[in-house]
A and B are shown apart, each in its own frame.
Chain A
Amino acid sequence: MERHRGQLTPQTLRRAGLVAGPTIFLALFFIWPVAQLLWRGLSDGDGALLNTFSSSSIRSVAWFTLWQAVASTVLTLIVALPLTAVIANVTFRGRRLVQALVTVPFVLPTVVVAGAFLATGDRLGATSGPFSLTKSVFAILVAHVFFNVAVVVRTVGSYWGQLSRDDEHAARTLGTPAWQTFFRITLRRLRPSLLAATSIVFLFTFTSFGVVLILGGARQRTIETEVFRYAISRTDFATAAALSIVQLIAVVALVALNLRLRSSLAQSDRLAERAQPAPNTLTLGLSWMTIAATIGLLSVPIIILVEQSLQTGSGLGFDNYRSLADRPPFLTVSPQRALANSLWFAVLATAIATVVGGWTSIAIVYSPTKISRLLDLGYLLPLGTSAVTLGFGILITFDSGWLDLRQSWVIIPLAQALIGIPFVTRAVVPVLRSIDPHLREAAASMGSSPAQIRRDIDFPIARRALVVGAGFAFAISLGEFGATSFVGRRPDFMTVPLAIGRLLSQPGQSIRGQAMALSVILMVITTVVLLIVDRADRSNVL
């Protein structure tokens, strides 16, 4: 691989081309805007950066940000792993439905989930004390688990499902107990995928905003909420930029640690398409218990939401849904149009994230280590960057000439795709790395070109992971993640989450009922779309 270094051969050109695409995309849509904003903030002056670094309150904020993210990540793993094991190892009817259902929280507006948590807390009597479901650290952690279980279940589940079972079978044949086999062999082999999922959950919770603000109460502050406070409540861009730099440094350090841990692992494991044996009754029984327990936990807030959407002045009924058909007051577009907007942006964001993410994954896998790590790190950074920084950065960067995208709808799916891409790469890269090298060698020795190898070997095996990533990109866009609210948009581009937010900013019982009904519709559509998307992992058309 290294012998052509320094020479302009077709191979180095091809490799350069492979790396150039993802690099230019990242530089243009992430690094440049963020650098612009940080520079603007810092040149506002008044020593904000040093003051920020040396203040004791930022140290306690940074410490809280870090530990709540670590705790949220660990708890998410603990809650998600049993269900992940079931999804990966047991064939049962409704597996795709379970996978789709755990992803539903992803698209729900935080303000809706927070309301459901409060209602849950009221019913369980958990509204005060350390285990309160509102305004406590505990509430933040529970909400983070609620939102992130899907990341582990889907990312690790798809990898695990494709892992060959030879080592485990050998161990079992030699009489090793099942639990030892799991802890000594399976868990070790899952590490590349576990680390990939962990990094995403960690970054998500490290930069989480709405959950901390609404469920944490006035006392809990993270770097992300502080960036917002300084940039928005105080229009103090200098301090906001300084805080963003603190955030970026922490994120780079922690992602580097994660990548380093991963590189200490074996470079490849055996991954192949395999058929799953039919489960026996005991396995099936335990599986259903796991599914019931996990889905049961996740669905408590969702059931409350559904119930609220059905509550009307005359008992339970579908009045709220019916009244959505006429355009409710306060919305700039009809709910149908908002839904069409949401789906359109989500399709575009998914397409961008899948293409760029897929390309990036190949570049990561086939590039020399240094470039590969830089790309890997670079594409994780948008997840670990404050939405204020990214959104305002885009706003002041794409503001003139042919790059004036400020009034353009294009900026919405682009910004959302930036958050979706790492989901694609983190799902696909471990799979590509684990493809048995003998497969590629055999194909090459039979005269296949690198492009043919990618098409005939890499793509079919990585397809399931690509679908997992695409599903997340879709859900992220539907849930309006990211920086779009700081860029601004034309009112006729109103999406479902924005419509829900608008309805919920108004007194009046029937208006609130309609917001809840719209939330339920968003959940149902997400589930249906994910069911369809997930089908692509088996069929021959992607």
Chain B
Amino acid sequence: MNHVFVRLSARTLVALAALALLASACGDDTLSEAASTCFDEPSIDAITDVTTDNLAGTTITLATHDSFTLSESTLAAFTDETGIIVEQVAVGDAGQLVSQAVLTKDNPTADVLFGIDNSFMCRGIDAELFVPYASPGLDDVADELELDPFNRLTPIDYGDVCVNYWTDALPGDAPESLDDLIDPVNAGQFVTENPETSSPGFSFLLATIAKYGEDGWEDYWTSLVDNDVSITAGWNDAYYGEFIAGGGARSIVTSYASSPPAEFLFADPPVDAPPTGVLQDSCFRQIEFAGVLNGTAHPEASAALIDFMLSTTFQEDVPLNMFVYPANGEAALPDAFVQWGPLVDDALTIDPAVIETNRDDWTERWNAIVAS
């Protein structure tokens, strides 16, 4: 009797090994080489001619990441207007949200998804998660935010991931270019996030790739490592751990263009100007999209919600709740954003299809550099 478990686990091992062979026999390895077909013409029919006349009482579900917050009255305004009831479900961070949506694509948990960004959008589109829908609200959205020519994903907000610095704590002059981060004067000053576990961390990696190109970014990172860059798992342990904002020793950090306005608004005691500044040369554009999920039973109501998300009611509520900029150019910005958080005109970008094709390779190469 005492040996029953030894036998059991041996049997389990054999069974699992057999399963392993079975699984490995019926696969191929070409997936990772295939280029993204992200912006090819979709086979899913678009939603057209949306009218909300008969939709009162319909209930739809909006899936978002945990960082999605609105003022209480905002979604109520949509229900007042259309009679459509919106339930919400929040799923971890943006990465968890996208993985969850891919996993449940045959039986989606929601009708509309908000919170997929340009670095993940092709993963969602390649998995055929979204139904094309051209919202009339797109007329007020700048062309450079409309990345998907077939409107499977609609831009809702955007912002820049930028290197921030604590002005009073810098050892030298304020950095003006990415090259200044590898200047010995800033040795041991810079902390950034792991691109595999942090969205701003990945954006910063993309910024360096956009800036130095496929042939130069690895050398740049080698120099960063030589200059004692610190890598943390997430934004929090960078900004509030090692950056001076939380009592740390470093004066330069990867954060957002909207971080100085937040430092200004939530300063304690109040300040005349934020203690932090933004390295304009380092900013990578991050656009957040919403899309109607393929498989919804309520395409019209879902499309109506997309329309509402582009309305000024929704768009003007976005900045102070999520610290991002409204996609709708007609939406008014809060004063703190106008004064302390101007977005750069020529933020760095990379085609989402290129990101999707190279993502794993880039992060693997990045790992090799920082692990050495």
Contact = CB atoms under 8 A, between A and B. Distances in A.
Interface of A: 40, 42-43, 45-51, 53, 111, 114-115, 118-119, 122, 127, 134-135, 213-214, 217-219, 228-229, 231-235, 237-238, 242, 245, 249, 252-253, 256, 259-260, 263-264, 312-314, 319, 329-332, 369-370, 373-374, 377, 392, 395-396, 399-400, 406-407, 485-491, 494, 498, 501-502, 504-513
A133 B236 CA distance: 17
Interface of B: 1-2, 4-6, 8-9, 12-13, 16, 19-21, 23-29, 31, 61, 63, 66-69, 87-92, 95-96, 98-100, 102-104, 107, 109, 123, 127, 194, 196-197, 230-237, 239-242, 245-249, 255-256, 259, 262-263, 265-270, 276, 320-321, 323, 359-360, 363, 367, 370-371
A232 B99 contact: yes
B234 A214 contact: yes
A308 B248 CA distance: 13
A407 B89 contact: yes
A504 B259 CA distance: 13
Contacts of A47: 23-25, 27-29
Chain A facing B: main interface SS = helix
Nearest to A45: B27
A491 B123 CA distance: 25
Contact of A214 (B61, B196, B232): B232
Contacts of A249: 9, 12-13, 16
A494 B69 CA distance: 12
A377 B6 CA distance: 12
B235 A505 contact: yes
A242 B241 CA distance: 34
A122 B247 contact: yes
A266 to B, nearest CB: 13
Nearest to A119: B247
Contact of B100 (A119, A127, A219, A486): A486
B336 to A, nearest CB: 11
A533 to B, nearest CB: 30
B263 A508 contact: yes
A510 B266 contact: yes
Contacts of A396: 103-104, 107
Contacts of A264: 2
A259 B69 contact: no
| 4 closest Cβ pairs, A-B complex | A508-B266, A313-B269, A45-B27, A50-B24
Contacts of A42: 19, 23
A174 to B, nearest CB: 33
Contact of A509 (B67, B69, B255, B267): B267
Contact of A507 (B104, B231, B248, B263): B263
Given A260-B2, A508-B263, 6 more contacts: A228-B197, A232-B95, A232-B99, A332-B69, A392-B100, A488-B63
A119 B323 CA distance: 27
Nearest to A254: B9
A498 B263 CA distance: 22
A114 B241 contact: yes
A109 B245 CA distance: 20
Given A400-B107, A489-B89, A49 B9 contact: no
B28 A46 contact: yes
Contacts of A263: 1-2
A488 B371 contact: no
A46 B31 contact: yes
B43 to A, nearest CB: 21
A180 to B, nearest CB: 30
A525 to B, nearest CB: 22
A508 B262 contact: yes
A388 to B, nearest CB: 9
B136 to A, nearest CB: 28
A488 B232 contact: no
Contacts of B26: 45
Nearest to B196: A233
B231 A45 contact: no
Nearest to A485: B92
B66 to A, nearest CB: 6
B257 to A, nearest CB: 11
16 contacts: A45-B27, A49-B24, A122-B249, A127-B249, A232-B99, A235-B127, A249-B16, A252-B12, A407-B87, A491-B90, A502-B67, A504-B236, A507-B239, A507-B259, A507-B263, A507-B266
Given A264-B2, A400-B107, A115 B12 contact: no
Nearest to A260: B5
Given A486-B91, A507-B266, A111 B96 contact: no
B263 A488 contact: no
Contacts of A217: 231
B14 to A, nearest CB: 11
Contact of A407 (B109, B263, B266): B109
B9 A513 contact: no
Contacts of A502: 66-67, 69
Nearest to B195: A233
A485 B323 contact: no
B236 A115 contact: yes
Contacts of B259: 507
B237 A488 contact: no
User: Taking each of A49, A111, A229, A406, which has the highest tally of chain B beta carbons within 10 Å of its own beta carbon?
Assistant: A49
Contacts of A214: 232-234, 237
A471 B197 CA distance: 33
Given A114-B237, A407-B109, A507-B266, A51 B1 contact: no
Contact of A50 (B23, B109, B234, B255): B23
A492 B56 CA distance: 23
Contacts of B242: 118
A319 B107 CA distance: 47
B109 A395 contact: yes
A485 B96 contact: yes
A131 B159 CA distance: 39
A514 to B, nearest CB: 9
Contacts of A260: 2, 5-6
A256 B12 CA distance: 12
Contact of B66 (A253, A399, A487, A498): A498
Nearest to A374: B8
B90 A488 contact: yes
Contacts of A135: 230
Contact of B23 (A48, A122, A513): A48
B12 A329 contact: no
Given A115-B237, A512-B246, A49 B267 contact: no
Contact of A118 (B6, B12, B237): B237
B268 A312 contact: yes
A484 B276 CA distance: 36
Contacts of B88: 490-491
A97 to B, nearest CB: 30
